[in-house]
Amino acid sequence: MKTIAQIAAELQGYDPQALPANAVLDFLQRLVTPVTESSHQPLFDALGKVLSADVISPMDVPPHDNSAMDGYALDGSQLQVDVPLTLKVVGTALAGKAWAGTASAGDCVKIMTGAIMPAGFDTVVPQEIVTPLNGEAEFIVIPPGLLKPGDNRRFRGEDLAQGHPALLKGQVITPARLGLAASLGLPSLPCWRPLRVAYFSTGDEILSLGEAPREGAVYDSNRYTTFGMLKRLGCEVIDMGVVKDDPALLEAAFRSAATQADAIITSGGVSVGEADYTKAMMKKLGDVAFWRIAMRPGRPMAVGRIAMQESEKSGAVLFGLPGNPVAVMVTFLAFVRPALLQMMGCTDSAPPLLKAHSQEKIRKKAGRTEYQRGWVSSATDGSLQVRTTGNQGSGVLSSMAEANGLIVLHHEQGNVAAGDLLDVLMFDGAI
């Protein structure tokens, strides 16, 4: 396991006092390691977890050539380019029950969606484009030029082939993947165990819900936003409440968190020059780096590991976040969430960015990455557009609550003009 100093030495131009956002992500990729314990989970319990092994399809899907729609199955070689085709209806094929009859040239079979294709037939004509011959249902007429041989037939194994991977190790089990596993008759899936994350807020000025208001104190919102983001991620959250600025209490909290969790998240106490004990305790108990990231909001951040004593456990990864409510959420979404996904064994941990046109001018200073709260919507031409949601101060949680994504203004980017194409990080599924 590499130390903080060893990881820093691998990064070109590493400067903890002015660290670019992309360097933070590079550092964290080298710092964290995935969990190693896995088990088979029943499907209803597997949702949101990460696959610990490839899932091999035990069958072909679909298991037979079948009809893609309600209509009439026929031999496509009979189709004519210029003249209508008249066929005799000799039976009906229903879904779940193969048609047991035999057909000759000039015959067709009425067929339902999903029904097995009768032997010798390779094409399905939709029922809405045929007409009965002289009003008699025993014969149908197919207009010319509307159908090609092989149309509207699903091939055996065209979705999944027996013996081939149906789901891949490192994928998050989504509702669609859950349904796919069920369609293969699989009652359980191999999953990495959920990540255990301990979280607490620090500071004498922080009030827990239920405490009476007092001058200079604020109610703790960070525990609740972080709890929500961790639960959305599928983590087991260990809520350790609010820890006051007391060395003994902080040491006990860090030691307790490190014995229970894979990762520890704190808010507050990491700013340069703060006169509290959080930074000192992080240094005492672990291998920790303190950063000033070239970003807005969320400049101060601490990362590292909290060491363990008299334990087989090697310790927990530490993410010390700023205290301002928006800065906590931004640093979590930009840096902590990808790192936790990597720890969960997820192979696709990088947050996807969408493109949207700015609806307004935005002032931006080059030399730092800015994450502005935005509302993304569809323009009249179908493209995406985005606007900011008001006051962008790091303590203004209301503009975060009104947003559905972050406008990501990159390190070298300058002022934005209305109409410029911007990157946006959407919240859906994250917060």
Q: Are residues 230 and 264 in the same domain?
A: yes
Per-residue model confidence (pLDDT) at position 315: 81
Per-residue model confidence (pLDDT) at position 394: 85
Mean pLDDT for the chain? Answer: 93
Q: What is the CATH number of the domain that holds 99?
A: 2.170.190.11
The residue-averaged pLDDT of 47-59 equals: 97
Residues in the chain: 431
* Residue 213 maps to a domain: yes
* Residue 27 maps to a domain: yes
User: Tokens standing for 412?
Assistant: 């070298």
Beta-ladder partners of 320: 266, 302
Reported as a single tens digit per residue, the pLDDT across 243-256 is: 998 999 999 999 99
Q: Are residues 181 and 110 in the same domain?
A: no
Reported as a single tens digit per residue, the pLDDT across 172-227 is: 999 999 999 999 999 999 999 999 999 999 988 888 888 899 998 899 999 999 99
Residue 343 has pLDDT above 70, yes or no: yes
Residue 154 has pLDDT above 80, yes or no: yes
Reported as a single tens digit per residue, the pLDDT across 74-116 is: 999 999 889 999 999 999 999 988 899 999 999 999 999 999 9
Closest by CA to 157, choosing from 70, 73, 58, 76, is 58
The answer to whether 193 and 211 are in contact (CB under 8 A) is no
Reported as a single tens digit per residue, the pLDDT across 228-238 is: 999 999 999 99
Q: What residues make up the domain containing 187?
A: 39-61+158-192
Per-residue model confidence (pLDDT) at position 135: 75
Q: Are residues 187 and 44 in the same domain?
A: yes
Per-residue model confidence (pLDDT) at position 97: 85
The residue-averaged pLDDT of 354-363 equals: 97
Residue 127 has pLDDT above 60, yes or no: yes
The pLDDT confidence band at residue 136, using thresholds 50, 70 and 90, is confident
Q: Are residues 293 and 162 in the same domain?
A: no
Per-residue model confidence (pLDDT) at position 259: 93
Residue 313 has pLDDT above 70, yes or no: no
Residue 369 has pLDDT above 80, yes or no: yes
Q: What is the pTM of this model?
A: 0.89
Q: What is the CATH number of the domain that holds 166?
A: 3.90.105.10
Per-residue model confidence (pLDDT) at position 204: 86
Tell me the CB-side half-sphere exposure of residue 343, using CA atoms within 13 A. Answer: 23
Among 80-84, 319-323, 324-328, 410-414, name the one with the lowest average pLDDT.
80-84
* Residue 219 maps to a domain: yes
DSSP assignments along 217-245, one per residue: -EE--HHHHHHHHHHHHT-EEEEEEEE-S
Q: Are residues 239 and 185 in the same domain?
A: no
Q: Are residues 381 and 400 in the same domain?
A: yes
User: Tokens standing for 121?
Assistant: 């037939």
Per-residue model confidence (pLDDT) at position 390: 87
User: Tokens standing for 74?
Assistant: 């026929």
Q: Give the ranges where 126-268 is alpha helix by DSSP (H).
A: 175-183, 222-233, 247-260
* Residue 329 maps to a domain: yes
* Residue 349 maps to a domain: no
The answer to whether 46 and 53 are in contact (CB under 8 A) is no
Per-residue model confidence (pLDDT) at position 348: 87
- The tally of domains found in the chain comes to 4
Closest by CA to 263, choosing from 226, 187, 301, 315, is 315
Q: Are residues 325 and 358 in the same domain?
A: no
- The label of the residue with tokens 């009906």 reads 92
Reported as a single tens digit per residue, the pLDDT across 251-283 is: 999 999 999 999 999 998 887 655 468 888 999
Q: Are residues 207 and 308 in the same domain?
A: yes
* Residue 348 maps to a domain: no
Q: What is the CATH number of the domain that holds 418?
A: 2.40.340.10
Q: Are residues 139 and 167 in the same domain?
A: no
Identify the H or E element spanning 184. Answer: none
Q: Are residues 163 and 287 in the same domain?
A: no
Q: Are residues 185 and 47 in the same domain?
A: yes
